[in-house]
Structure 1
Amino acid sequence: MSKVGTYISEAFEELKLNVTWPEWAEVQRLTMVVAIFAVLFALATWGVDEFFAKTLSMFFNWLKA
């Protein structure tokens, strides 16, 4: 169990001393970029899904006729 404690304390020590943290303004800017990209990707995925759903529906209606 002491190995786990040592690992955790060394991890926190490395985070404090060796990691370069970005400025708060940069974090906010990059968060907005990710949020916008996520919304655009979701809309694109929805659009492709709708396109294929309509295409397959038309194809199967054509086969029925």
Structure 2
Amino acid sequence: MSNVKDYINGTVEEMRDKVSWPTFKELQNSSVLVLIGSLVFALVVGAMDFVFDSSLTWFYNQF
């Protein structure tokens, strides 16, 4: 049981003293970057889906 207590205490100490936590401004910037990246990715995938759907519809209508 002592090992578990030592592990938890060590984890809490490391999270409190040794981890460098980002500032609120850094979190905001990262969130905006992820949002923009997600939107760009969604637009690219949507455009590819539209092109493939249109191409296959045209192809199958030829027969």
Identity, % of aligned pairs?
Answer: 35
Unaligned ranges ≥5, structure 1: none
**Residue of structure 1 equivalent to 2:35:** 35
In the superposition, the TM-score normalised over structure 1's length comes to 0.77
Check 1:19–1:59 CA distance in 2 against 1; reply closer, same or farther (3 A cut): same
Aligned length: 63
Check 1:23–1:60 CA distance in 2 against 1; reply closer, same or farther (3 A cut): same
Unaligned ranges ≥5, structure 2: none
In the superposition, the TM-score normalised over structure 2's length comes to 0.79
Q: How big is the alpha-carbon RMSD for the aligned residues of Structure 1 and Structure 2?
A: 1.9
Check 1:3–1:47 CA distance in 2 against 1; reply closer, same or farther (3 A cut): farther
The one-letter code of the counterpart of 1:34 is: V
Deviations 1:16-41 (A, max 9, x none): 11110111111101110111110111
